[in-house]
Every structure is written in C-alpha cells, then in structure tokens.
Amino acid sequence: MPESDLIQTGVIGLDRILGGGIPRGNLILVEGAAGTGKTTFGVQFIYRGAQELDEPGLIVLFEVSPERIMREAATFGWDLAALERQGRIKIVFTTRQVFEQELRRADSLLLDEAREIRARRVFVDSFAPVWQRDANQPPREAFHILSEGLQRENLTAMVALEVSAHEEARTTAAVPEEFVADTIILLRVESLERAAVRSLEIVKSRGQAYEMGRHTFRIGDGRGGLEVYRRVQARRNIEREQAAAYDVSRRLATGTPGLDPLLGGGMWPGATVLTVGVSGVGKSVMALQYIAEGARRGERSLMVTLDEPPAQVIRNAGTIGIDLQEFIDRDLVQLWYDSPQELEIDRHFAHVEEMVRDRRPQRVVIDSLSTYGGILGLRAQTFRDFLHACVSLMKEYQVTAIYNHENPEMLGMTSMMGEMTVSSLVDTIILLNWVELGDTFRLALTVAKMRASPIIRQTHECEIIDGQGMRVLPNALDPAIPRLPFTAYLGLVSRAPERHTPHLGAP
C-alpha cells in the first residue's frame, strides 16, 4: 500500500508494527479499561497529526473537560491551546446523545466544526462500556451511523471504548462496535508479580498486514506520550541467508593475549560467542579486553551491562590497565546500563536495536545472559526468543557479540550452559573454569565450540594480573616457576585431574 494511503498514528514504534500506519478512512477503535492510556493515545494521534503531519484534527469529549485534556497534554510538552489558536485543532465538549444525533444529520454542527479547520482526523473520547448503554439504542447501529457520518467527511476517526479490565469478561462479552470498526487496538495494564506492565495489541486492521501479539508500551518515557516497543518475539524482516553473508577474510582480535591462536586467529565477524564460567572467573575482564582491543583498532563497541553500573565497569577496567572513559569520550565505546529490576524486555531490546542500528558497533558485549535468564526464566520461551532476536539483530549488522553467561558450578562443568537450551544459536563457546591442583585454584580456559574453524579442544591455563588483565599462558611454563603446566594433567575440567604418566606427559 502506498504510504500516502496510510495515516500515521504518531505513536513512536506503533507505525512500524503497522507497516507504516493505518489505511486512511479506517474507523479505529481503541479499547481498554480505565487507566490504560486511551485518552493519551487519542490526543497524541490528533496532536502529532496537526503538529507534525499537517493534518488538522478534532477532539470530541464527553466526560473529560478540555481544560483537563490540555493540562495533561502539557505534561508531555504538547501545546494544544497554541494549536487551537492556530486553527489546527478544535476541542468540542458534548454529550453522547447529542453526538449521535448530530451524526445523523446532513447539516451536522460537529462536522461543520471539522470542515472549518479542514480536519483529517477526529478523536472521540469515549464510548460507554456495553453494560452502561441505553437499552433503546442498539450500539451496533449507533456505531455504524458514526462510521458513515465520519467517512462522509473523509475523516479518519479514532474512538476510545471502555472495556472490562477482566480478560474473561472481554472475551465473552459481545462488543458490537468491534464488528463495525476497521481497526481495533487493545490497551492493557497487566499484572506481573507486583509490577504492572502496559501492553498494546492490534486485534484487527482491515486492508493491511500488521504484527500480531502484545507489544509493550510506556507513557511519558522521556519523548512524550505513548511509545510502543515491538514484541521481542516478533520475527525480524530479514532473510537469514542474506544476513549470513559473512566476510571470511577477516578475524577480530580478542585482546586477550594467547587466545586468538586458540580461535584460529580470532573471532569471525558476526559470530555469536558465549563465554561461560562461574562468577568471578574473569568473563567481564575478557569482555573489557575485547572492547578495548576494538577501540585501539578504531572499531566501535557497545557494552550492555545489567550487572554493574557504568561507573563500576569503568573502575574495573582501570584495574586491568584499560582507560575505558577515554574510549567513551572518543565515541569508540558506548556503555549502556539497564537495571534488571522490573526490566521490560521489549523496551530493553528496542533500545539495544536502536543503538546497534544508529551507532553501528562492530563489537558488542552482553553482560550477562544469566541475568536475563534470572529475570525471564532460563527455560522460558521469552528468554529463548530474546536471545534469538539478539542473535538475529547482531548477524544482520555483522556484529561480533560476546554474551557472558554465569555457570553455577564452582569447579568443573557437568553442563556447559546449565538449563539454558540455546546452544544451537551459539557459534563459539569459551569455557572459563577453576581447577583445583594441590592447594591452589588455577584458572582454565577451553574453546569448546567454534563454527567454521578447526580447533583443538585443549584446556589452557590463564592468569589475571593486576594492572594488566587476562592472558592465556603458553603450554610450556617458565622452568623457573615450580609448578607443572596443564599439559601434565588429564581430566582438568571434569573435576578429576590426574597427572600424566611421565612417558605420556613429557613435553
């Protein structure tokens, strides 16, 4: 459908879900219980139309006074009074009865008002719920009259309709307007434990394709009014094959001395890399070195951190000799902290997507996957869908992404990724482990998986030195150090290290 045939809602994020907007002339029903955001949605539809799209609009109110609407709009930075003075909007207060009577008349005063400002949009707030209607007035007929009256004037109308907050009541009660309306958008406030999450669902929209399901939205989140975040589970509109057009001539250096040779020269562009290990084993150190290495090469990075706020990450980087602040100041590194408390995953992902799309980093670190698992449930479909979406996004932009994942096992590793059942998505797995030899815990690293590159799954010793960071030690240790190299042992990761017999283990 040509874009000119679509009317933009003016709600950030929603037009994308609708494939650009809603077909002009559609009668749009915005349903929701009290407090779900119907009025704000409708006022935003009129305001953005008049202010940004040169489409004047009429607001018809039955219950709320124009004064209150203007006051609420002002909290989002929308100056309705100025638009009214400029003749770009009109706000009319009336009663439902008068409204319905007026729409039956060819010489409707209400439509005269719309005509005067050459209105293209109208918002009606609001139709009464089914249980409050006049029994003598068949609602379907009244709504059909409304539809005819508004379409006669070439107006795209949005009508707010109060529905029950109880989902069961909604699905069983007949809402006659739904049969007449062309587009139905349902707003909900859902309880999640003790939190409340807003969601928006396009129930139907004649004449267009749209993305189904419940998308998260917020009101007044900095940019004014409603902002919709596409459901993270929704498929991305890219061909997987097209996204997988990899550059095989290039590898990305990890920044951890000794690691690149174990990876066949470095990480593939667009690879999904999982670093697995117990808490405190050095996953974040390795990630910081990866980012710093990129910055030294002039490559942009993004680090998404749920576990530690930026100031702490910067401090930590400083202890291993990385001046992260300098890279941030030079726009080579972006640190984004989102508190895991009551995290809205659709909104979170939308922000990650925006940063990747706008800044085009070549390297991304997600720290950590286990925190997402803690919020969403490691076995939950939402978690797997989120990871799918992340992997798909990074591959689309050919970003090499490291996902840190905390394995709960202090020693050894009976399962590489615990309960997480997403290993098929991952291209490279690096295991970090403590191994207990004598009275010492020593740090072990194994490249357990690497797609498109032959690897030797040998366990190597690592060390983290204050002020210098992590490095993978060579197999042959300095003879001055009185300890055996890892090559002198069997079964390091399986919790049962044994010394080689001398004839097998001699270097």
Partner 1 sequence: MPEESLNVTIGRLLDRLAVVTHPCHLDLLMFFQRHPRTLIGTDALASYVGYDPAEISLSLEALVGSDLVSRSNNRAHSARMYVLRLHAESGDWLPTLLAIASTSRGRARVIAVLDTRTSREPRATESRSSRLAHRIGVGHA
Strand order in the sheet with 183-192: 57-61, 121-127, 156-162, 27-32, 183-192, 195-205, 214-219, 226-229
Of the residues 66, 129, 258, 374, which one makes contact with partner 1 according to CB under 8 A = 66
| 109-116 helix and 96-103 helix, angle to the nearest 10 degrees | 80
Which of 28, 30, 73, 110 binds partner 1 (CB under 8 A)? It is 110
Do 80 and 44 meet the contact criterion of CB atoms below 8 Å apart? no
118 binds partner 1 (CB under 8 A): no
Residues 88-107 that bind partner 1 (CB under 8 A): 90-95, 97-99, 101-102, 105, 107
For partner 1, the closer CB: 107 or 241: 107
Examine residue 151 and tell whether it contacts partner 1 (CB under 8 A): no
Q: Minimum CB separation from partner 1 for residue 152, in Å? A: 17
Largest CA distance in the chain: 104
DSSP 157-203: EEEEEE--S-HHHHHHS--THHHH-SEEEEEEEEEETTEEEEEEEEE
Rg of the chain, C-alpha, whole Å: 29
For partner 1, the closer CB: 110 or 472: 110
Q: Is 380 a residue that touches partner 1 (CB under 8 A)? A: no
Minimal distance in Å, beta carbon 150 to partner 1? 15
Number of residues in contact with partner 1, rule: CB under 8 A?
Answer: 19
Using CA atoms in the order 377, 342, 222, 186, what is the torsion angle rounded to 10 degrees? 70
113 binds partner 1 (CB under 8 A): yes
Using rule CB under 8 A, residue 306 touches partner 1: no
Query: Is residue 505 near partner 1 by the rule CB under 8 A?
Result: no
Closer to partner 1 by Cβ: residue 97 or 312? 97
Regarding 211 and contact with partner 1 (CB under 8 A), the answer is no
Decide if 407 contacts 419 (C-beta within 8 A). Answer: no
Q: Does 414 bind partner 1 (CB under 8 A)?
A: no
Residue 219 CB, shortest distance to partner 1, in Å, is: 24
Binding segment for partner 1 (CB under 8 A), chosen from 45-53, 64-72, 164-172, 438-446, is 64-72
Asked whether position 50 contacts partner 1 by CB under 8 A, the answer is no
Orientation angle between helical segments 139-152 and 96-103, nearest 10 degrees: 60
CB of 181 to partner 1, least distance (A): 23
Which CB sits closer to partner 1, 85 or 250? 85
Q: Is 109 among the residues that bind partner 1 (CB under 8 A)?
A: yes
- 1 is an interface residue for partner 1 by CB under 8 A: no
Residue 163 near partner 1 by CB under 8 A: no
Distance in Å, CB of 194 to partner 1, minimum: 37
Give least dist CB 180 to partner 1, A: 23
- Nearest residue (CB) to partner 1, 110 versus 322: 110
Among 52, 54, 67, 354, binds partner 1 (CB under 8 A): 67
Question: What tokens appear for 478 in the block?
Answer: 């300095």
- Closest to 238 measured CA to CA, from 353, 369, 336: 353
Nearer to partner 1, 59 or 295 (CB): 59
| Pick 98 or 195: Cβ nearer partner 1 | 98
* 116 counts as binding partner 1 under rule CB under 8 A: no
**Placement of tokens 């995290």 in the chain:** 343
Rounded to a whole number of angstroms, the minimum distance from the CB of residue 225 to partner 1 is 23
- By CB under 8 A, tell whether 174 contacts partner 1: no
- Measured from the CB of residue 100, what is the shortest distance to partner 1 in angstroms? 11
* Nearest distance from C-beta of residue 149 to partner 1, angstroms: 14
Nearer to partner 1, 87 or 491 (CB): 87
How many angstroms separate the CA atoms of 413 and 416, rounded?
6
**How far is the C-alpha of 447 from the C-alpha of 268, rounded, in Å?**
14
Q: Quickly list H helices, 320-402.
A: 324-329, 345-359, 369-376, 381-396
Q: Coil, strand or helix: which one is 243? A: helix
Contact call for residues 367 and 361 (beta carbons, < 8 A): no
Report in angstroms how near the CB of residue 30 gets to partner 1 at its nearest.
22
Residue 61 in contact with residue 91, Cβ under 8 Å? yes
- What is residue 470's three-state secondary structure? strand
**Which residues in 248-275 are b (16+ Cβ under 10 Å) and which e?**
eeebbbbbbebbbebbeebbbbbbbbbb
Q: What is the DSSP letter of 79?
A: -
Q: Is 86 in the site for partner 1 (CB under 8 A)?
A: no
Which of 286, 285, 279 minimizes the C-alpha distance to 260? 286
Q: How far is the CB of 368 from partner 1 (least distance, A)?
A: 54
- The 231-270 contact track toward partner 1, x by CB under 8 A, reads ----------------------------------------
Residue 73 interacts with partner 1 (CB under 8 A)?
no
HSE, CB side, 13 Å, CA atoms: give it for residue 106: 0
Query: Closest separation between CB of residue 97 and partner 1, Å?
Result: 8
Q: CA–CA separation, 176 vs 184, rounded Å?
A: 12
Is the separation of the CB atoms in 290 and 283 below 8 Å? no
Residue with smaller CB distance to partner 1, 101 or 316: 101
Strands 121-127 and 6-7: unpaired
In the complex, the smallest distance separating the C-beta of residue 101 from partner 1, rounded to whole angstroms, is 6
- Contact residues for partner 1 (CB under 8 A)? 65-67, 90-95, 97-99, 101-102, 105, 107, 109-110, 113
